[in-house]
Structure 1
């Protein structure tokens, strides 16, 4: 029976989209990692709580097929701030997040990181002349 569950989760992972603008932070990648971790032995994995596994699958499948988006349609494609979907995607992209982190550092920290000399190699003792 766990073999059928495993195959259902694999099919769900194939259908779940990946967001390439959020490398390592998107839900599709996280889902694939969790399925790999939960089913370490593949189809031979023995599940401790099959009912909970079925609940998780059904919830993820409903999200993937947009059940709630269709049941509760939005009147506008903006948030309360007025930011559109495309603007949100652009702001949440990994490149922009890194840039914002750089800006948060402040001038002093940025300057000290830029001009600090890192000594990766330990200085060797100079040979003694006798």
Structure 2
């Protein structure tokens, strides 16, 4: 029975879309990592709680097939802030997140990082001759 569960999870991982704009941070990548961790021995993995495993699979399968999106359709494709789906995707992309992190540092810290790197021969730890 464990082999069947393993194959079902593998099929779900194949179907689950990856978001290339969120390298290593998207739900598809996390799902693949968790399945690999949970089924370390592949089809031979012993499941300690088969009922919970089946429940988890069913929940993920419902999300993947948009059951809730169809059951509870949205009136508008914006959030309460008025941000559209495209704008949200752009803001959450890895490149945008890195850029925002750089902007958070502030001008002084950025300048200090750029100009504080010294050449190895200028290092104060180097003994003088």
TM-score under structure 1 normalisation? Answer: 0.91
CA distance in 1, matches of 2:126, 2:107: 35
Is the partner of 1:21 in helix, strand or coil?
coil
User: Deviations for 1:56-80, whole angstroms, at most 9, x for unmatched residues?
Assistant: 0000000000000000000111111
Change (3 A) 1:51 1:100: same
Residue 118 to residue 43, structure 1, CA distance change in 2 (3 Å): farther
Write the distance in 1 (CA, Å) between the matches of 2:20 and 2:120. Answer: 34
Point out where structure 2 has 5 or more consecutive residues left out of the alignment. none
Equivalent position of 1:68 in the other structure: 68
Q: Secondary structure at the match of 2:21?
A: helix
CA distance in 2, matches of 1:16, 1:57: 12
In structure 1, list runs of 5 or more residues that go unmatched. Answer: none
Match of 1:80 in 2: 80
Residue correspondences, number: 127
Aligned to 1:4: 4
> For residues 93 and 53 of structure 2, what CA distance do their matches in structure 1 show?
31
Cα distance in 1, alignment partners of residues 38 and 87 from structure 2: 35
The RMSD of aligned alpha carbons is 1.7
C-alpha distance in 1 between matches for 2:48 and 2:59: 19
Matched with 2:22 is: 22
